[in-house]
Chain A
Amino acid sequence: MGRCPGFRAACLLVLIVIMVGREAQADRLDLIQKRGTLIVGVKSDYPPFGMLDAHGRLIGFEPDLAAELARRLGVGLQLVAVTSTNRLQKLEEGAVDMVIATLGDSPQRRQIATLVEPGYYASGATAVAPPTPRLSSWTDLRGKKVCATQGAYFNRPMAQRFLLDLQIFNGTRDARLALRDGRCVAWLYDDTSFAGLLADPEWANYETPLPSMMISPWAIALSAKEQGSRLEQMISEAVADWHRSAWLIDVEKRWGIRPSQYLVEMRALWTRRQADGGLLCARLENGNWPAECRHKWLLKSADVGGIQHFGLLLKEQTGLNMTIIYDAYDRLLFLRGLWITLQLMVACIAGSLIVGCLGALAAESGFPGVRTCVQMSAALGRMTPPLLLIYLVFFGVGHIIVSRFGWTFDGASIVIVCLSTYTGCAIVSALLEAVSVLKEQQPDFRLGWRELPQALRLSYAAVVASLVNVVKATGMASVIAVPELVSAATAIVAEQGNPEVMMNVLMITYFLLVTTVVQIFNYLERRIPELGRR
């Protein structure tokens, strides 16, 4: 045997490697329990989520979660300060058991660490603005100068989704000063960082009037090796419990953090019950949470079935994010928009014809002065931009009527009235020109109800051109928040960040609608050649 010491040494080495490997593969949970201490990485520079107190101890929202986990495990707790740059590295090295450090969940991070679902908090983009002028929705900022801080994950998508004119500054301080000096109307900022900023008296006057966007859930992170381990299961169960018992909302309150919509929604979701009385968010046989309880953008086609599977597969294979196919909420929003647009189109065609015909009849009624009056109004109506008319009626006149008489009108009917008036004026002019031609042909011609088809027949091309234009213009209803097709499409882009797909879908849908209307009018022209030729 002495002949081959190298062989023995090699055997020993293999044995050691196997042993060490086994040791490394041993459950982290066992290690924690053997050690009697849970080591957690938390932030020290992110008040009030993770900060240092006067004695240099780590305190805050996240240390409280760590303490609760240690209590559940029945072990002691050791907190270690980590930063945004080293938190995942410390995890990989094994220096900490887990990291609870404002870490946003994303597919990229899932490649290098195990992120526990559900998330325990969430951050998003908010707009910090002075109290006046008051912002009521993100679309108020469209085309406006908005300050932003370099490097925020939401800068680019927010600018794309809401067409913001972003002024990007190097640091938080520069962006703050620019906002204070009025160089931008709002500051795009992380809503959780703003909580820390509010303590500064200089910021007491500023508000965050808009709902947070691009919500990114924060996850407790374990090393990549812990995927599916007992430790992951245990933490996942604990976080689910926290949501169900509203414990997280209590901790949030304890640290004086402004109530987060995310926690309220998660509590509702995790306590929702199915028809049979069981919890909706209960573990499936494969150990996963059901798809409804997971973050939509983290789902893969393999996690779901049916049409949702098809839609996600399309996204994974081609990058086309057709949320209106697989996301029930977006689909409903889009279909409802389509339905309202169809109604608007029909109502505007009918309204324009009624205004046009009544106007022409009034002009030809023979009462002194009426003809000039109608002709003047028609000319005025044709030269008023319909968008301004909608604003004038909706905001200007609408407000006066509400304050004097208490009557309110819904946006859709105001749009129908305004667009019908505008188009009706063009139809009046077209009909009156037809009437003057008819009068030359038949000197005793006089426009009445019976002669209307004849006049319409003669001015068919001009009237149809006006009606097609009003059909194209129905999208204007989106400016006063009527939930039609354009509103639905921009809302989906804002939520999902898929402008390429949604804008093409919108364009094609509208094009098909307009083409259909044109075809119907062409068909009518062919089918009723006898119209007006009695």
Chain B
Amino acid sequence: MAAAEIAALLLTWTPFLAGGFAWNILISLVAMIIGTIFGALLAWLRLSGHTPLAHASLVVTELTRNIPTFVFLFYLAFLIPTEFEFSGQIYAFPVWLKASLAFSVAVIGFVSDNLLVALQHRERHNHAAALLFIPSWTTYLLIIVMASSTASVIGVGEIVSRCNIVIAAVGGNETMLWVYTYAICYFLVFCFPLNWAMGCARRRLLTRVGVPAL
């Protein structure tokens, strides 16, 4: 396949694939929001001083840390009904929300652990160290964005499943190579600048705290 041909092909499908990538970001953001709410609750409970509650939150955090997201994705896909009835009305449970829920479990563990450290710093009026939570949170968002590509296995119409649709529609063996590489570029373009900015933020905060960068 000539380079011009490949470029034309990718250009034709760009709106479709970009739409898929928007889903990746949406799924990840929803997962981060759900995970942050519950993770913050756990971190707060761990600090609350009620020993049984603090202990229980620690156990829940341990649990979420050891749940493999990929397997949990299948778990929710098979076990949450596609439709449910609520006061006589039938509602659909969208599959992307199942994916968000699956990813949010990993976020809960992350937020519970990292926010706990940040809150402890704040209690000691070590505000710069507490602020380190923000770059960590953003970096974790990037990890979830990359994990969101696995949502394709349960049929979410995000970028990887759209790649497969494009490949099926266009045919040809070399297409696969280029379409997948193109999809990887989306992730690189999105993650690289954010990751770099967060790295800078972290280093600046660390110098304010006076700890050597690690």
Contact = CB atoms under 8 A, between A and B. Distances in A.
A143 B95 contact: yes
B195 to A, nearest CB: 7
A397 interface: yes
Contact of B181 (A385, A396, A471, A493): A396
A239 to B, nearest CB: 37
Given A165-B155, A503-B79, A385 B187 contact: yes
B137 to A, nearest CB: 16
Contacts of B168: 132-133
Given A388-B163, A395-B177, 16 more contacts: A132-B168, A160-B78, A163-B154, A385-B150, A392-B180, A397-B177, A433-B213, A473-B68, A475-B70, A478-B153, A479-B153, A504-B75, A506-B71, A507-B67, A514-B66, A514-B68
B191 interface: yes
Interface stretch (A189-197, A299-307, A376-384): A376-384
Interface of B: 65-72, 74-75, 77-79, 82, 95, 142, 146-147, 149-150, 152-157, 160-161, 163, 168-169, 171, 173-174, 176-178, 180-181, 183-184, 187-188, 191-192, 195, 212-214
Nearest to B72: A507
A510 B68 contact: yes
A474 to B, nearest CB: 8
Contact of B187 (A388, A403, A433): A388
Nearest to A502: B78
Contact of B160 (A133, A388, A434): A388
A238 B79 CA distance: 44
A515 B213 CA distance: 31
Nearest to A133: B168
B180 A391 contact: yes
Which 6 pairs show the lowest CB-CB distances between chains A and B? A143-B155, A396-B177, A472-B68, A133-B168, A385-B149, A499-B78
A388 B153 contact: no
21 contacts: A132-B168, A143-B156, A144-B155, A163-B77, A163-B155, A383-B142, A385-B146, A387-B153, A388-B149, A391-B163, A391-B180, A396-B178, A400-B174, A472-B68, A472-B69, A476-B150, A489-B74, A499-B78, A500-B79, A503-B79, A510-B68
Interface residues of A, number: 53
B212 A440 contact: yes
A29 interface: no
Chain B facing A: main interface SS: helix
Given A143-B161, A387-B160, A388-B184, A399 B173 contact: yes
Nearest to A517: B66
A475 B149 contact: no
Q: Most B CB atoms within 10 A — which of A133, A440, A473, A475?
A: A475
Contacts of B155: 142-144, 163, 165
Contacts of A403: 173
Interface string A359-402: 00000000000000000000110011111110110011101100
Contacts of B181: 392, 396
Interface string A245-289: 000000000000000000000000000000000000000000000
Contacts of B177: 392, 395-397, 399-400
Contact of B154 (A142, A400, A503): A142
Contacts, number: 136
Contacts of A7: none
Contacts of A479: 153
A291 B214 CA distance: 65
B187 A132 contact: no
A388 B213 contact: no
Contact of B153 (A132, A142, A397): A142
A107 B156 CA distance: 37
Contacts of A506: 71, 74-75
A159 B70 CA distance: 21
A510 B195 CA distance: 31
A396 B180 CA distance: 8
A421 interface: no
A423 interface: no
B149 A396 contact: no
A387 B149 CA distance: 7
Given A143-B156, A437-B212, A388 B74 contact: no
Given A160-B78, A388-B149, A486 B70 contact: yes
B22 to A, nearest CB: 16
B192 A379 contact: yes
A80 interface: no
A167 interface: no
Contacts of B183: 388
B173 A507 contact: no
B103 to A, nearest CB: 12
Contacts of A132: 168, 171
Contacts of A379: 192, 195
B77 A387 contact: no
A391 to B, nearest CB: 5
B173 A385 contact: no
Contacts of B69: 472
A503 B75 contact: yes
B156 A503 contact: no
Contacts of B75: 503-504, 506-507
Interface in A384-442: 384-389, 391-392, 395-397, 399-400, 403, 433-434, 436-437, 440
